[in-house]
A and B are shown apart, each in its own frame.
Chain A
Amino acid sequence: MKKNGILSRLFLALCFLFLYAPILVLVVFSFNASKSRAVWAGFTLDWYADLLDNSAILNALWITLAVSAIAAVIATIMGTAAAIGFYNMKRRSRNVCMTINNIPLTNADIITGVSMMLLFILAVDAWNGGIGRALGLRFNLGFWSLLIAHITFDVPNVILSVTPKLRQLDPNIYEAAQDLGDHGLHAFVKVVLPEIMPGVVNGLIMAFTLSIDDFVVSYFTAGAQTQTLSMVIYSMAKKRVSPEINALSTLMFLAVVILMVIFNLRQAHQARQAQERRKALYGK
């Protein structure tokens, strides 16, 4: 293919300007002393201080981190097990399972959200009207329903990232381990798991980021009392424009950049290690 000329380079630059300028503007104005959205009135860190005093935001941050971490771990365990089970199924039943598994991926978020909300409300009403009343234990939508919803949209992504690794797996190595007298779980942990580990870790990271970023499904399934960070941002952004959001944007963007750098360094490190191992093995 030919190299890019000056015009295509210019087009690339314009596209990246479009993608990054709004973020840059938010970052710059998070340090603006004036509340105005257009005038620069000097440097300040006030909005950051306000943000740290904002208990609604801090609370929501903890809920978001907790639900994302717990959901990602549960989804990774359940998803990896499911991927292995699906892999061992007959073609017919595997196709049925994969089709259902794909529903949360292809459906619009809002439909996943409202449909689960209806299920949770029906369950809560049934409980509160029956056993719950007898026991004096009433329930409402909250952290538990948020967690179930997050696990539900996390698992399909874990399965998508583990399944290719299973296909690459040499079916003989598990049998070889069995021939050598290793059975069941131990053979799985020692032989199969290390091979599919990159897919599992990738699935875990994807599940965690999806959960952190989710707004729509959380919005419908969290109930009236529980709020994730996205939900707080939505209610803040809907009302009067507050410079605290600029400060929050800057901090979140910084967190993402740091995570990306760590992730890339780790990948480069792994690639280097793999190369050294190859060298040691083959003397090349």
Chain B
Amino acid sequence: MKSKAISYPYVAWMALFVVAPIVIIVVYAFTAAGGGFSLENFHSMAQYATAFGRSFLLAAVATVVCLLAGYPLAYFLARERGWIHRMATMLIMLPMWMNFLLRTYSWKFLLERNGLLNTLFGLIGLGPFQMIDTQGAIVLGMVYNYLPYMVLPIFSVIAKIDPKVVEAAQDLGANSVTVFRRVIFPLSLPGVLSGITMVFIPSVSTFAISRLLGGSKTLLLGNLIDMQFLGSAYNPHLGSAVSLVMMVIVMVCMAVMNHFGDGEEGVTL
């Protein structure tokens, strides 16, 4: 029980399968196909600047939408009493437990040109609308898939707030808006921060959602990386460079955000 040695197998495992792969990515990013140090990959990345911009923009929009819808959802759920409160976590998690590709596929099924939504619009004399293969469809797919990642941490923080704290604020004359603004919202910030992280990272790096809902025209970072490793444009050096840049940008974003969180411990699922 006092031994450190039993963790050594996993320490070796981490060195081999966590640290080494990252080192390889860095080495690949800074070498050309023929070998030798080179910055060529970063130069040729310039042509994909739009893919970078689009990925971060769509992921940011999806994160904002998730926050705007997810915060009230978590807040109202935490205020419920009785069975809804007890079942809340399960109700939010249940769709998440279904394979995410199947959930994304269901939107393809709904949004298609002769899909269910357009048929419904047709009945009231509207449409058909072009909904599939648009950037809006990609954002919808991200919001649908990752909304639970925003709701759960916020819900768990708000549900843990001591009711006495709220009562104390009310006794001191705060109305419900002030209670929310000065007490509940600041206390829920750690949940918000971890929710933002948990929605933004998978959104910015997705390639399946954009492939299934965005058609073949909309290229995101994930698709770009996918193409370099398993696709037609096989070039793992360029793919590594794109991965590395994405990783660094995401890390910087998270560091800046956690700085606002002031060392508060994030909430995980």
A71 to chain B, nearest CB (A): 12
Point out the residues of chain B lying under 8 angstroms from A85, CB to CB. Answer: 3-8, 10-11
* Stretch of A45-53, A75-83, A273-281 at the chain-chain interface: A75-83
Q: Pick the contact of A37: B98, B112, B247 (CB < 8 A).
A: B112
Contact B236 A260 (CB under 8 A): no
Q: Which residue of A lies closest to B24 (CB)?
A: A118
A31 interface hit (Cβ, 8 Å) = no
* Contact A19-B147, Cβ < 8 Å, known A38-B115, A114-B239: yes
Of B37-45, B46-54, B74-82, B185-193, the segment with at least 4 beta carbons within 8 Å of chain A is B74-82
Whether B104 and A237, one on each chain, are in contact in the complex, defined by CB atoms closer than 8 angstroms, is: yes
Across the interface, name the chain A residue whose C-beta is closest to B230.
A220
**Is the CB–CB distance between A81 and B205 below 8 Å?**
no
Chain B residues with CB below 8 A from A260, complex form: 90, 94, 97
The smallest beta-carbon distance between A82 and chain B, in angstroms, is 4
> Would you give the 0/1 interface string for A209-225, flagging 1 where the beta carbon is closer than 8 Å to chain B?
10001011001100000
Q: Is A127 close to B, CB under 8 A?
A: no
A122 sits at the interface (CB 8 A): yes
Q: Is A8 an interface residue (CB 8 A)?
A: yes
Do residues B100 and A215 form an inter-chain contact, with CB atoms below 8 A? yes
Residue of B nearest to A155 (CB): B10
**Which residue of A is nearest B206, CB measured?**
A110
Shortest beta-carbon distance, A15 to chain B, in Å? 5
- The verdict on A81 contacting B208 (CB below 8 Å), with A15-B73, A119-B24 known, is no
CA distance A151 to B17 in the complex (A): 10
Q: Are B268 and A1 in contact (CB under 8 A)?
A: no
Q: Is A126's CB within 8 Å of the partner chain B?
A: no
| Given the contacts A23-B98, A114-B225, A119 and B20 also touching, CB distance less than 8 Å | yes
Decide if B80 touches A82 in the complex (CB within 8 Å): no
Measured between beta carbons, the chain A residues less than 8 angstroms from B14 are 97, 100-101
Say yes or no: A188-B1 contact (C-beta < 8 A), given A37-B114, A215-B100, A249-B106: yes
Q: Which of A9, A82, A111, A256 contacts B246 (CB 8 A)?
A: A111
**A73 partner residues in chain B, CB cutoff 8 A:** none
Given that A155-B10, A248-B102 are known contacts, is A19 also in contact with B95, CB under 8 Å in the complex? yes
Count of CB-CB pairs between chains A and B under 8 Å: 227
Judge whether B202 is part of the interface by a CB distance below 8 angstroms.
yes
A204 on the B face (CB < 8 A): no
A12-B73, A16-B91, A115-B243 are contacts. A110–B1 as well, Cβ < 8 Å?
A: no
Residues of B within 8 A of A36 (CB): 114
Whether B205 and A109, one on each chain, are in contact in the complex, defined by CB atoms closer than 8 angstroms, is yes
Q: With A and B bound together, what is the CA distance between A114 and B222 in angstroms?
A: 11
Number of chain B interface residues as a range: 35 or more
In A101-158, the 8 Å CB interface with B consists of 101, 103-104, 106-112, 114-119, 122, 148-149, 151-152, 155
Inter-chain contact A12/B103, CB cutoff 8 Å: no
Scoring A residues 244 to 273 as 1 if CB is less than 8 Å from chain B, else 0, what string do you get?
A: 011011001100110010001000000000
Contact A12–B243 (Cβ < 8 Å): no
Decide if B101 touches A111 in the complex (CB within 8 Å).
no
A84: interface (CB < 8 Å):
yes
Q: Do B90 and A264 touch (CB < 8 A)?
A: yes
Assess the B79–A3 pair: CB atoms within 8 A. Answer: yes
Answer yes or no: A18 CB below 8 A from chain B CBs.
yes
B119 neighbours in A (Cβ, 8 Å):
38-39
Among residues of A, the one whose C-beta sits closest to the C-beta of B102 is A249
* Beta-carbon contacts under 8 Å, B84-112 to A: 84, 90-92, 94-95, 97-110, 112
Chain B residue nearest to A89 (CB atoms) is B4
B76 touches A116 (CB 8 A): no
Closest chain A CB from B176 CB (angstroms): 6
Contact B18 A103 (CB under 8 A): yes
Neighbour of A122 across the interface among B3, B24, B80, B268, CB < 8 A: B24
CB neighbours of B129 from chain A (8 A):
none
Could you mark each residue 30-42 of chain A with 1 if its beta carbon is under 8 Å from any beta carbon of chain B, else 0?
0000001111000
Contact between A22 and B106, CB atoms less than 8 A apart: yes
Decide: A234 near B109, CB < 8 A? Known: A78-B9, A89-B4, A108-B246: no
Q: Min CB distance, B129 to chain A, in Å?
A: 14
Is B201 engaged at the interface, CB distance under 8 Å to the other chain?
Answer: yes
Interchain residue pairs with CB less than 8 A apart (19): A3-B81, A4-B79, A25-B106, A26-B102, A37-B109, A37-B115, A39-B119, A79-B10, A85-B6, A85-B11, A86-B7, A100-B19, A108-B250, A111-B246, A114-B225, A118-B28, A216-B207, A230-B99, A249-B102
Please provide the 4 A-B residue pairs with the shortest distance between their CB atoms, ordered closest to farther: A85-B7, A115-B21, A108-B205, A82-B10
5 more A-B contacts (CB under 8 A) besides A8-B72, A12-B80, A106-B197? A9-B76, A152-B17, A155-B10, A237-B102, A249-B98
